[in-house]
A = this chain, B = another copy of it.
């Protein structure tokens, strides 16, 4: 199809998708309060808000299952309109559905982390098999004289790299969590960044891949925003692992199908940093409690850092104790700043020209 035709096609598709996503947003706004009651009474899925000891009633947990289900309905419905790249599209749906199921099982059963890592790896397999993009690694210009070639064919190692990205993203939202609005806030911001990136790149040489990525991320942006509405400080609902795993995998899949995993990692900088400083505790080199959260102080109502190695505590350690809502808002701002940095790195011609030739710039 010609570029002009492709643009017209994209425009009509995006209008339908936008309408479906808007409907999905309102569906979530309507269903979350209903399912909230079901979670409390029938499903017995609820938790104590440990940063609000004065609040006695339990908070319904696992509302991610609502946005995940509505999201799946939208992408499945839209597929019957678009009928594009079915192999990758269906692989994406199955990976996302698999992680939503795993997250929900985790909410109900409390699954061991080894099993969860294993399952999140398995969920990526259909997408790795269906992946038909380049498997070459473009050598940055300053390194070409050393390596002796301009590109390096990675083959199966490239699939390994993609699997790592997806497993990392899927699990990274889950470990950067624990205060009201944090899980949904970061998800909505990363989704927004991915969305903007796709819209910019729709004109580029990989427009069709960015279109698929956009199809996967726009309904996610809409449904997560609805959940954020209820999950923001002070939270009416908790999102559950059903949301964190679903969210991580959806964003990962959007990056991989859009062929921009490196740019995606720029959007995931806070999560990457949190993951790296969490490693000593995750691997048990330092004792690791079940929740690695800041502590609520009854006297001033602020959160204080604990000796757990993660971004939440580190931020409080350097910036001083804070009210929970303000902490979530500032971490959201930090996330936005990282996205802006990501865009700056990605679209700065000076920087990219230094590392890559022009014809490689658009390769992710």
Taking a contact as CB atoms under 8 Å apart, the answer to whether B45 and A108 are in contact is yes
Taking a contact as CB atoms under 8 Å apart, the answer to whether B73 and A126 are in contact is no
Which of the four size classes fits the interface of chain A?
35 or more
Give the residues in chain B near A73, CB-CB below 8 Å: 119, 122
Give the residues in chain B near A125, CB-CB below 8 Å: 76-77, 79-80
Instruction: Flag whether A130 is at the interface (Cβ < 8 A).
Output: yes
Question: Per-residue CB proximity of A17-44 to B under 8 Å, as 1/0?
Answer: 0000000000000000001001100111
**A114 to B: closest C-beta gap in Å:** 14
**A93 to B: closest C-beta gap in Å:** 4
Instruction: Flag whether A233 is at the interface (Cβ < 8 A).
Output: no
How many copies the complex holds: the figure is 2
Taking a contact as CB atoms under 8 Å apart, the answer to whether A90 and B43 are in contact is no
> Which of A4-12, A99-107, A264-272 is found at the contact surface with chain B?
A99-107
Please measure, in the bound complex, the distance between the C-alpha atom of A48 and the C-alpha atom of B205, giving whole angstroms.
Answer: 61
Please measure, in the bound complex, the distance between the C-alpha atom of A100 and the C-alpha atom of B98, giving whole angstroms.
Answer: 10
Give me the 6 closest cross-chain CB pairs, A-B, nearest first.
A90-B90, A94-B94, A86-B87, A93-B94, A97-B97, A101-B101
Apart from A43-B109, A76-B123, A90-B91, what are 20 other A-B pairs with CB-CB below 8 Å?
A35-B109, A42-B108, A42-B109, A42-B110, A69-B101, A69-B105, A73-B119, A73-B122, A76-B125, A76-B126, A80-B125, A80-B128, A80-B129, A86-B90, A87-B90, A90-B90, A93-B126, A100-B101, A101-B101, A104-B104
